Structure 1
Amino acid sequence: MSDMPCSSKFGATCAENLIASGMSECEAHNKERLFDQCSAWLVDKMGRPIEEAMGFWLPGRLEFLGKHTDYCGGRSMLGAIERGICMVAAARKDHCVRVARIDRGEERTFEIKGEIEPRQGDWMNYLMTAVKRVHQNFGSLHGFDLIIGSDLPMAAGMSSSSAVIVGMWLVMDAANGLKKRSIYREQISDELSLAEYLGCIENGTDFRELEGNRGVGTLGGSQDHTAILLSDAGKLKTFGFSPIRFEQMIEIDKKYAFIIGVSGVDAHKTGAAMADYNKAAMLAKELVEMWNNQTGSHAKTLTEIVRSDSFDMTINNLFIEYSGELDCKELKNRLAHFIRENDQIIPAVMKELKSNHYDVVGDLIDQSQNSAEKLLGNQVMHTIELAKSARNLGAVAASAFGAGFGGSVWALVEKRDRDRLMKAWKKAYKDFDMATSERACFFETLLGPGAMRAI
């Protein structure tokens, strides 16, 4: 990592370090401007010397495959995109936290003491939830001044909220030496466990002996945090979950790039949208409880159920005798989706990508998209249309990704064809729904580096 620069070179130094980690030069220079804007706020409006500034990069997450599989103990194929969040921070000696967002021109302050009360729906929710949980688990914390800039579309299915959670950990660690504390060594100790702990911060559950709290209100797993924290430029990584385990890494052929189509239908995890998102998790939880009641076992995930020697003999009776409150057909579909995505499609795609058979991958991804539409039920007509039209226009593969109920679609394309395809994709979406297309955006990305301290 380069030495601390003078004020005028802060962003340039961050960009150099991002390029050294594998980010394309064009995108790194875009981040240079964001880092400069954030550092200017720190110096000019918060009165902090540039010598105390720290820069952090938090990428958006690309879920290649693995729709709602992580909290079921399944696997996901993940990468990081080259858009994300830039944070500039400076440690304080007191317990005050000052936070500013340059896109809003807004600054907030709170103290790390007593009861920190995040509010759902407020942009500070994820940030304050992270501080509250780490304070609860690790004890006394020094505060910090923090400025946040982003070129990542919000509520678009690329985990901007989870990126904030990861970023808050990096900032608090830098300001407080969290990894040097005995409790970190005893309870977390490595990056895989850290990603799982960060997921527990978001969903509010306990992690080993580190007690949970309310979280942010969602019931997801650690997929997003794993992708953001552990991705490498140019590569897709497959991880299993509950607990997190690394399975395989595949380098994407350099003749391909991704185009992201942001639908313009927000995928906010608040209000009714949070209920829709949480439903998939609740169905999975109900299936596990049904299994344990039927068999007397103590399974924790769908993976444990599917791997059971008695699965084939027991599964039909599970639904015949069900008398709970949830819809039996939805429960069957939830299980069918998990088996198809986790045990059939993902292993097949891993094999074909490893063999460089990109022509076969597209049909397998189509099966995943269809399964999300018909079985998981987390797609809206706009993401369905985007995936369908991308394939019709010649994309090698295309799929909606993220929690669903809005958000975005990725399309894997040959670089030589990207300009034509992006133009045609935009037009096709405008013809489909002109009003919504005005809120949509399309951009190209390579697979970039994971979260890092940029200076």
Structure 2
Amino acid sequence: MNSAALAAAFAERFGTEPDGLWSAPGRVNVIGEHTDYNAGFVLPFAIKHSTTVAAAVRRDRTVRVSSTFAPDDEPVEADLDLLTEGGVHGWAAYPLGVLWAMEQSGHRCPGLDLLVDSNVPVGAGLSSSAALECAVAVAVTDLAQTGMSRRELAGIGQLAENRMVGAPTGIMDQSASLLGKPGHAVFLDCRSGEARLVPLDLEAAGLELLVIDTRVSHSHSTGGYAARRRSCELGAEQMGVPALRDLTVGDLGRAADVLEEETFRRVRHVVTENARVEAAVEVLTGSSPAALGPLLVASHASMRDDFEISCPELDTAVEAALAAGALGARMTGGGFGGSAIALARVSDVPAIRSAVEQAFASADFRAPGIFSVLPGAGAGRAG
């Protein structure tokens, strides 16, 4: 829905014009999976698929939240003075969680009417949840003039997702959504919160990054993701370090002696994935993005075999893309479904698309969604 249509829909829904529109993108993670909550490194970029929020300030402390995807549903309504941790369920927990988190952080929020529209595929591993959180966060910080920095807003989004939604995610998704820039990836140190932009000009290199949405939905608030996080925390504790970030590849020999087999494999994934992120940054700083290919392939193998978060659809997507000429491919996102990415020369994209579609049909999987993404701009005012 374009800006004018969203503003008109808001006026029809709430009987008043919005004070403005704010938008935040989803993200694709080039490399660095399940490293964020281990105080490690990640390398995502913002995409052009985004969530837009039309907002208007109210005179009371009521928040009403509605969506263009459910035009006949009554808005979800809440009193800011009565919001409690974990007290909101369903999709409205994300925007209301942002308001709760801001108030918990000492920033008083006004009552609001909010209408949400999005073209970020839900459940595809492209962080539709962070896009929603960040769109609301930038809207509120503008309307309430909180003066919060992008880094602070990323923390607000993470707090909302961790404690209102109950998903034990790290800070990567919000950081990518807020800090993204066209032609660049965001190299984020998840311990310090420091971020810097790294060149990722795919167009200039004659490359595309394909997203292959398996249509297998996943949820971070369910058991698999939380179980992996617990394994990582156990591994760090037994290795005597604050977080797995503090281990290097050279420590894996000792880890194999100290840890039971499954925990060791979880630890090995995180340690080697951190090393791959740093290698990817070095590649992008001094070479063509095409050189990322082998790192992507190694990342997928690690997530499939050591972290065990892939699924048959993701493996099929990666294998078919590589067989058809992709320079590299891997699953992206939290796992257990969602999307894979494939780095390809523009000339090879049609063959790769066809090969993946045929492989899914042969396996009797649901037809995948396949589209190209390029690094885009971070969250901001949209109207």
Q: TM-score, normalised by structure 2?
A: 0.91
Matched to 2:68, the amino acid is I
1:378/1:178 CA distance change after superposition, 3 Å:
same
- Residues 453 and 248 from structure 1, CA distance in 2 versus in 1: closer, same or farther, beyond 3 angstroms? closer
CA–CA distance in structure 2, aligned partners of residues 160 and 268 of structure 1: 11
C-alpha deviation, 1:316, in angstroms: 5.3
In the alignment, the residues of structure 2 paired with residue 136 and residue 241 of structure 1 have an alpha-carbon distance, to the nearest angstrom, of 22
User: Secondary structure at 1:406's aligned position in 2?
Assistant: coil
1:176 partnered with 2:144: yes
Q: Any conservation in 2 of the 1:337–1:376 contact (CA below 8 Å)?
A: yes
Aligned to 2:231: 283
Is the 1:80–1:449 contact (alpha carbons within 8 Å) kept by the matching residues of 2?
yes
Q: How does 1:283-322 map to 2 (within 5 A)?
A: 283-292=231-240, 299-306=241-248, 315=255, 318-319=258-259
- Deviation for aligned residue 1:408: 0.4
Matched, 1:386 2:314: no
Which residue does the alignment assign to 1:8? Answer: none
Q: Is the 8 A contact 2:101 2:159 kept in 1?
A: no
Separation in 1 of the partners of 2:357 and 2:29?
A: 22
Residue number in structure 2 paired with 1:454: 382
Q: Which stretch shows the higher mean deviation, 241-250 or 395-404?
A: 241-250
Partner-residue secondary structure (3-state), 2:54: strand
Structure-to-structure mapping, 1:354-433, within 5 angstroms: 354-433=285-364
CA–CA distance in 2 between the matches of 1:433 and 1:337? 30
- Structure 1 residue matching 2:8: 3-state secondary structure: helix
Partner of residue 274 from structure 2, selected from 326, 330, 342: 342
C-alpha distance after superposition, 1:128-169 (max 9, x if no partner): 222222223225321111111111111111111122221221
Which of 206, 216, 233 is residue 265 of structure 1 equivalent to?
Answer: 216
**What is the letter of the counterpart of residue 115 of structure 1?**
L
Whether the aligned pair in 1 keeps the contact of 2:32 and 2:43 (CA below 8 Å) is: yes
Question: Aligned AA for 2:130?
Answer: S
Gap change, CA 1:93 and 1:386, over 3 Å in 2: same
Per the alignment, in what secondary structure is the counterpart of residue 164 of structure 2?
Answer: coil
Give the unaligned 5+ runs of structure 1: 1-32, 185-189, 204-213, 293-298, 320-327
**Alignment partner of 1:376: what SS?**
coil
> Does the aligned pair in 2 maintain the 1:193–1:244 contact within 8 Å?
no
In the other structure, the counterpart of 2:123 is 155
Aligned equivalent of 2:181:
232
2:2 paired residue number: 34
Match of 2:202 in 1: 253
Q: Distance in 1 between matches of 2:197 and 2:109?
A: 37
Give the counterpart letter for 1:339 in structure 2: V
Task: Report the residue type matching 1:77 in the other structure.
Answer: L
Q: Distance in 2 between matches of 1:118 and 1:339?
A: 33
Are the equivalent residues in 1 in contact too, given 2:21–2:382 (CA < 8 A)? yes
> Does structure 1 residue 222 correspond to structure 2 residue 188?
no
Q: Whole-Å Cα distance in 1 between the matches of residues 278 and 86 of structure 2?
A: 40
Instruction: Give the C-alpha shift of residue 35 in structure 1.
Output: 2.5
Cα deviation code 1:217-275 (max 9, x no counterpart): 122210111111111112122111112122551232312222211101101234xxx11
Letter in 2 for 1:136: Q
The equivalences for 1:117-128 within 5 A come to 118=86, 122-128=90-96
Alignment RMSD (CA, Å): 2.3
- Choose which of 33, 36, 43 in structure 1 pairs with 2:11: 43
Contact between 2:255 and 2:264, CA under 8 Å: does it hold in 1?
Answer: no
Mapped partners of 2:344, 2:196: distance in 1: 25
1:109 corresponds in structure 2 to: 77
Partners of 2:155 and 2:274 lie apart in 1 by: 19
Structure 2 CA distance for partners of 1:53 and 1:379, relative to 1, 3 Å? same
Alpha carbons of 1:421 and 1:288: their partners in 2 closer, same or farther (altered >3 Å)? closer
Aligned position for 1:27:
none
Question: Structure 1 residue 117: deviation in Å?
Answer: 6.1
Cα distance in 2 for residues equivalent to 1:127 and 1:55 = 15
Unpaired runs of 5+ in structure 2? none
* Cα distance, 1:425–1:163 mapped onto 2, change above 3 Å: same
Aligned 1:81-120 pairs, distance under 5 A: 81-105=47-71, 106=73, 107-116=75-84, 118=86
Deviation, structure 1 residue 306: 4.0
- Output one character per residue of 1:346-401: Cα deviation in whole Å (capped at 9) or x when no partner: 23333333333455422221111001100011111111111111111112221111
Q: Structure 2 counterpart of 1:275, which letter?
A: G
Distance (whole Å) between structure 2 residues aligned to residue 138 and residue 202 of structure 1: 18
The alignment-based identity, stated in percent, is 23
Residues 96, 144 of structure 1: 8 Å contact kept: yes
Aligned residue in 1 for 2:192:
243
* Residue-pair matches, total: 379
Find the residue that maps to 1:215 and give its secondary structure.
Answer: helix
The question of 1:78 aligning with 2:44 is answered: yes
What is the aligned partner in structure 2 of residue 141 from structure 1?
A: 109
Q: Distance in 2 between matches of 1:313 and 1:62?
A: 32
CA drift of 1:404 comes to 0.4
| Structure 2 CA distance for aligned equivalents of residues 279 and 422 of structure 1 | 34
Which amino acid is the alignment partner of residue 450 of structure 1? G
1:45 match: secondary structure:
helix
| Letter matched to residue 263 of structure 2 | L
Q: CA deviation at 1:121?
A: 5.5
Distance 2:252 2:261 in 1: 18
Query: Could you tell me how far 1:67 is from its partner in structure 2?
Result: 0.7
Q: Could you say which residue in structure 2 is the equivalent of 1:18?
A: none
Structure-2 residue corresponding to 1:445: 373
Q: For the residues of structure 2 that align with 1:35 and 1:269, how far apart are their CA atoms?
A: 30
Q: Distance in 2 between matches of 1:373 and 1:237?
A: 25
Cα shift at 1:406 = 0.4
